[in-house]
Amino acid sequence: MNLRAVVVDDEQLAREDLCFLLEQLGGIDVLGQAGNGVEGLSTIETLSPDVVFLDVQMPGMSGFEVARRLLDEQSPCQIVFVTAYDQYAIEAFEVNAVDYLLKPIEQARLEQALHRVARRISSDRPLNEHLAKILRIVGERQSRRDQMAVKVDDRFLLVKADDIVFASLTGDTINVVTNGLSGTSNYRTLDELQARLDPDVFWRVHRSHLVNITKIKEIVPWFSRNYILRMNDSKATEIPVSRSQTKRLRDYLKL
């Protein structure tokens, strides 16, 4: 029986090249492709592949973050990371719990990775503590709170986390605002975005709003002893503080 695969990479050409190599090798069916981490998670959940070829560097949600989600969900699929230049990741993968491929991918190296995947599946070894160890090592080496990608029109711009004034959930879209731009994030929930940021700086003051407490311009008293935060962006956006977060705000600011 052929291995069933999903390819996740934000570069269409890279996806097509990898799919072509897999087709040439045979013994593997590519069930689907995804262009970012969020789409990748959905595709993996829907198609339940045996193996996922997962790009390390993607805007919004990196390959490591996707792997963490799969680990949390106890997904049975195997992961082969794909990377162009992440030397720290390669060092972490030396523990050999999962495989990795360097771009541009060589056919012989890809074949070797597939053999490893097949052996791991036959031994019934799902994502496990070894992968957790790798992700922990990588997480320690990544400066994951330094910057993030924000989509503005048709481009992804990298912004420093410290420059983010607030993020708000509108419908299914997370809007991210800095002093210089307003765009959207690829994260599906504010919980995911909040986990990426420094919890001492970014507070969930409302179920729909995450604010940088260093970017609060003014605190406006509201009814029932609640508050409205006037933020330090170009529009002086007003953000409500939920009742459950009001006490924390009072204690922090000595109100």
Q: What pLDDT shows up at residue 88?
A: 47
Instruction: Read off the pLDDT band of 223 (50, 70, 90).
Output: confident
Q: What pLDDT shows up at residue 95?
A: 38
pLDDT at 248 exceeding the cut of 70: yes
pLDDT at 10 exceeding the cut of 50: yes
Tell me the average pLDDT across 122-129: 63
Inter-residue contact 133 to 67 (CB < 8 Å): no
Tell me the average pLDDT across 189-210: 87
Instruction: Read off the pLDDT band of 52 (50, 70, 90).
Output: very high
**Residues whose CB is less than 8 angstroms from the CB of residue 190 and which lie 6 or more positions away in sequence, other chains included:** 167, 169, 174, 204, 207, 208, 210
Instruction: Read off the pLDDT band of 97 (50, 70, 90).
Output: very low
Instruction: Read off the pLDDT band of 87 (50, 70, 90).
Output: low
Give whole-number Cα distances, 98 to 101, 198, 241, in Å. 10, 29, 44
| Domains of the chain: residue spans and CATH | 3-141 (3.40.50.2300), 147-253 (2.40.50.1020)
Q: What pLDDT shows up at residue 125?
A: 58
Instruction: Read off the pLDDT band of 124 (50, 70, 90).
Output: low
Average pLDDT, the chain: 84
Q: How far apart are CA 188 and CA 61, in angstroms?
A: 10
Instruction: Read off the pLDDT band of 245 (50, 70, 90).
Output: confident
Instruction: Read off the pLDDT band of 94 (50, 70, 90).
Output: very low
Rg (CA), the chain: 21
Give whole-number Cα distances, 101 to 54, 82, 107, 111, 121, in Å. 10, 5, 10, 11, 19
Predicted TM-score (pTM) of this structure: 0.53
Residue 218's identity, in one-letter code, is E
Q: What pLDDT shows up at residue 28?
A: 95
Q: What pLDDT shows up at residue 96?
A: 40
